[in-house]
Amino acid sequence: MFALVSDITHYPQFLPWCKSVTLSSQNESQVIATITMSRAGLEKSFTTTNIVKPNESIEMRLLKGPFNHLQGHWDFQALGEEGCKISLKMAFEIKNPVLRLSLEPVFTKIINTLVDAFVKRANELYGTS
């Protein structure tokens, strides 16, 4: 599961709201990426720095975008040889009050369905056990 979540460049293939991803830099402990999301007639881009601890966690912090703040934390806990418990915590606030009215419900829905989207992708790629 860690490999799926950390492989940001493939997000547009299976996340319907993700229009494109651009990597600015990448090494084994940090990724800087810009994601363009398109949903419900809205298109916005945001850039995050992602601190990576392989097979353990990914911490996201906003660099630029339509948010006052955006923070996220993926946690991966091994459950034997073939299982993994994943959790995602996200907090955000949209800068523009007018944009907040339309974008906040869309972004909240994306966050609430994100873990399920990765589980579905894992099942497509690796099958269910």
- Domains of the chain by residue range: 2-126
pLDDT tens string 72-117: 999 999 888 878 899 999 999 999 999 899 889 989 999 989 989 9
Q: What's residue 44's pLDDT?
A: 92
CA-to-CA dists, residue 79 to 18, 21, 41, 46, 85, angstroms:
29, 31, 40, 33, 7
3.40.50.410, 3.40.1360.10, 3.40.50.460, 3.30.530.20: CATH of 2-126: 3.30.530.20
CB of 90 closer than 8 Å to CB of 69: no
Put simply, whether the predicted model's pTM sits higher than 0.75 gets the answer yes
Q: How much is the pLDDT for 129? A: 54
